[in-house]
Amino acid sequence: MKSARRAVITGIGLVSPLGNACDALWAALMEGRSGVGRFESLPGGALPVSIAAEAKGFTGDIENFGPLEKEQKKAIRKGLKVMCREIQMGVAAAQLALVDARLSAGAYPPGRSGCVFGSDYMMTVPDEFNAGIDSCRGPDGEFAYSRWAEEGMPKLSPLWLLKYLPNMPASHVAIYNDLRGPNNSITHREASANLAVGEAFRTITRGHADMMVAGATGTRVHPMKAVHAHQTEELAENKDPARACRPFDRDRTGMVMGEGAGTIILEELSHAQARGATILAEVIGHASSQVADRNSVAKRDLALTNVLRKTLADAQAKPEDVGHIHAHGLATRTCDVDEANAIRAVFGPIANKLPIAAAKSYFGNLGAGSGLVEIISSILALRHERLFPVLNFQTPDPECPIHVAQRGMPAGSSFINLNVTPQGQASAVMIRAL
Identify the sign of the CA torsion 390, 394, 399, 404.
positive
Residues 99, 75 share a domain: yes
Measure CA 399 to chain center. 27
Looking at residue 123, what is its pLDDT? 86
Looking at residue 270, what is its pLDDT? 97
In a domain, 202, yes or no: yes
In a domain, 2, yes or no: no
Residues 206, 153 share a domain: no
- CA angle at 393 for the pair 388 and 398, rounded to the nearest 5°: 125
Looking at residue 417, what is its pLDDT? 98
Residues 269, 137 share a domain: no
Contact predicate 288/417, CB 8 Å: no
Which of 106, 137, 159 represents a domain boundary (last residue)?
Answer: 159
Residues 331, 198 share a domain: yes
Boundaries of domain holding 135: 129-159
- The model's pTM is 0.95
Q: Which residues contact 149 (CB under 8 A, 6 or more apart)?
A: none
Q: Which residues of the chain have pLDDT under 70?
A: 1, 43-44
H helix runs in 235-368, sequence order: 269-274, 300-314, 333-347, 360-363
User: Would you call 5 exposed, middle or buried from its count of C-beta atoms within 10 A (0-12, 13-18, 19+)?
Assistant: middle
Cα–Cα distances in angstroms (integers) from residue 100 to residues 71, 104, 115, 299, in the given order: 19, 10, 16, 39
Looking at residue 21, what is its pLDDT? 97
Residues 384, 331 share a domain: yes
Contact predicate 30/110, CB 8 Å: no
Helix and strand totals (H; E) in the chain: 12, 13
Looking at residue 44, what is its pLDDT? 65
Looking at residue 229, what is its pLDDT? 81
Cα–Cα distances in angstroms (integers) from residue 350 to residues 243, 262, 319, in the given order: 30, 31, 7
In a domain, 1, yes or no: no
Residues 177, 155 share a domain: no
Contact predicate 145/122, CB 8 Å: no
In a domain, 254, yes or no: yes
Residues 73, 45 share a domain: yes
Residues 188, 147 share a domain: no
Which amino acid, residue 106?
Answer: G
Looking at residue 223, what is its pLDDT? 81
Looking at residue 1, what is its pLDDT? 61
DSSP β-bridge partners for residue 53 = 258
| Residue 240, CB-side half-sphere exposure with 13 Å CA sphere | 6
User: Would you call 153 exposed, middle or buried from its count of C-beta atoms within 10 A (0-12, 13-18, 19+)?
Assistant: middle
Contact predicate 228/48, CB 8 Å: no
Residues 348, 308 share a domain: yes
Identify the sign of the CA torsion 175, 179, 185, 190.
negative
CA dist., res. 210 & res. 266, Å (int): 8
**Could you tell me which of 385, 396, 307 has the C-alpha nearest to residue 343?**
307
In a domain, 182, yes or no: yes
Beta strands in 154-279, from DSSP E residues, in sequence order: 183-186, 211-219, 259-268
Residues 417, 388 share a domain: yes
**Hey, is 249 helix, strand or coil?**
strand
Looking at residue 127, what is its pLDDT? 84
What CATH number corresponds to the domain at position 359? Answer: 3.40.47.10
Residues 154, 172 share a domain: no
The domain tally of the chain equals: 2
DSSP β-bridge partners for residue 216 = 118, 262
Residues 214, 106 share a domain: yes
In a domain, 353, yes or no: yes
